Structure formats: C-alpha cells, structure tokens
Structure 1
Amino acid sequence: MSVDPAHLSERLGLFVIIMLGESVLQIIDAAAEAEYTVGLLAAGIASFALLAGMFGLSFVYGYAGLPHLRAGRIPTRAALGLHCLVSGVIATVAVSLAAVVEHGDEALSDGSRWLLCGALATYFALGVATGVASRSADLQRTVSRIVTGIVIPLVLGLFAAGMSGRTLAVCLASVLLAHLYFERRLQPIESRV
C-alpha cells in the first residue's frame, strides 16, 4: 500500500490547524469563567500570540504542521511520529494557556509552569530535529534555535516561580514571535526550497 505524500501532508496540516483552533476555544472557555479585567485581556492576547506563533512556525516556515520541516526530506513514517508529538505538545500548551487565562495575575503552580515551559521547549526541540533532519538549517541557525527556543523556556520554567502566569505567557509568546521575525528576515518565503 502506498501513500500520496502531498495528500498526507495536507491532512496532517489540517489536523494541526484543528488542534490550534481547539486550543483557542479552550482559552476562550477559560476566559468565560474569569473576571473581566485588563489582566485577562493581556493574558488572552499573549495566549493567542503564542498559538499564532506556533501556527506561523508550523506552516509558514514548516511543512505538514511540523516547524522547520521541508517537503519530501524525511520518510513518511518519521513525519507521522513527529506529527504525533507536535499534536501532543499543542494539546499540552492549550491546557497550560487555559490555566494562565483562568488564574491571570497569580503565579502558576510549579506543575503548570513546567508544563507550559516544557511543552514550548519540546515544540522547539521538534523544530530543531525537523530542521536538522530536512537539512533546512545551518549550524548557526540550529544553535540559535536551541538557545532561544529550548533554553529560554527551560530557564523560565526553572526560575520564574514567582512570575504571574500572564507575564510568563507574554515572555514565551515573545520568544515565538522573535523566532518568526528572524525566520522572515533570514529566509524569505519566496526563496524557500
């Protein structure tokens, strides 16, 4: 039995889009239960920016919902395994962001903080793996992705115990948006191969 790679990548990408949409709904549901304040608005915007950043890295600078992957560069079975991991990471981020929106000004519990920071570090680790496997990154870009995408979230997970959930979400969204900015500067969409 053979698989059409283009059709499969389209379906995998649609699944990731659905997961991101469900994540937005989960955040909205958490916001519906919270008291409406400027802090809630800030937490919602940061959460949406974080999910939008994941969308950008997964689709504008990725393939089939996987960040930094290039079409046809890894076997289909490997892409399926990585896709499963990315889907789990997105679900974990959604649960964590719902807790951020729900608790807003309060610091997240250690478990919730580590869940959010660890999930984002895992997302970037998968991006590093797909970038290396599909030969879409040089050494400098790979090291940059490791330092900013993996190390920063882990450092926040370790040292941000007193930080409010909203501030943590803003910091993590900033990391994602910075990655999008630098991807755009370093590699225009039209010149991607």
Structure 2
Amino acid sequence: MRFALILSMALTFLGAVEILGTKVTPAVQLRDGKVYFKQPPRLLRAVTTFKNVNVWGATYYFTIKLPPNAGEPLQKVNINQHEGLDRVNFDLDDSFAFIGNLSNRGKKLSLDVTSDRKLKTVSLKFNPPVSPGETVTIALKPTRNPGTEGIYLFGVTAFPPGDNPHGQFLGFGRFHFYGDGFGLRSYPLSVNK
C-alpha cells in the first residue's frame, strides 16, 4: 500500500509540475536522447485557394494546433507529397507561416525552408520554435497546380527541438484538383457604368 502511494506521488510529480499557476508538462526523452512530444500536435485543416489544374498563384495552407501539454515547442514541419500523378513543386522563397488560422491571422513567423526534390519533401524550420498552446498556419505556394486532375495527398510530420527529435506524423492534407473550370475560386465582379 505504501509503495502504491509513493508511486502515485512520483507519477503525479513527473506528469505535471505547477509553476506560478501554469501547468508544465515535460516532454518524453529516451535514454538514447530521442525527444518526443508528450502530447502531439494536430493537423486541423489543409486547404488550397484554387482547385483547378494548371492554375498559377495558388496557396496551400496547413493549420496545426500544438496543445498546451505538448511538453516541447514545435521546431520543424515536413510536408511530403505521397499521392498525385504530377509532382508539385513549390516556390520556397514565397513560403510563409503565421500564428493563428485563415480567419484569424496573427504574427508572421520566421522560417528556414528547404526542399528535397527526390523525396518530394519541403522542410520548414521555425526560428524561434512555436510555443505549446499555439495554432500555426503554414502557406506553401506551388509554382502552379498540378497539370493532371485527381487527389493529391501531402503528409505532415511535426518535430520538437533537439539533436535527436522524433517526428510525429499528423496526417494527410488532401487536395482534389479538377479540370475544365471546376474548382476555380470565384470572386465578385464589379461592373463599371
């Protein structure tokens, strides 16, 4: 009985420490130094501004929520094209990220963006990392939408800081591109009289 009480107290202490009224949840770190999120981020939404094939000027948005009890900030996100008949190439210099979502944009974040064309992966490193409890939206601008219609899947993986971070797969951003004028974003027209 005494062992159970001591174990319960130790788990309570290790699970959450209260500092100045704020609950801090430590990350999980294994003996080999690999760092994990205690509570992983979530991919909330993936949308594109244009759904038509071959369209120039589209933006692909990926919104990620880092829970308050993540245990670590969000350092890096990899976005990898898994499905789709055409390779989608991105203009890395036009990529950006901000705190919040599309309807509530906050502070723009500083990013280092790299690409591995062979692996069809874009890596976005936040400088400084995104704090637990924040929502962040990443905007990737393709050089153009794919030329072949169909479903394109982009896998999203999040990483905490550290020399040996574990990537947490968050899910797929799913985009359906259409031909023949379907999926074009409509804008109100004004008529000059």
TM-score clears 0.5: no
* TM-score, normalised by the number of residues in structure 2: 0.24
Q: Which structure has the larger Rg? A: 2
Bigger share in helix: 1
Greater fraction strand: 2
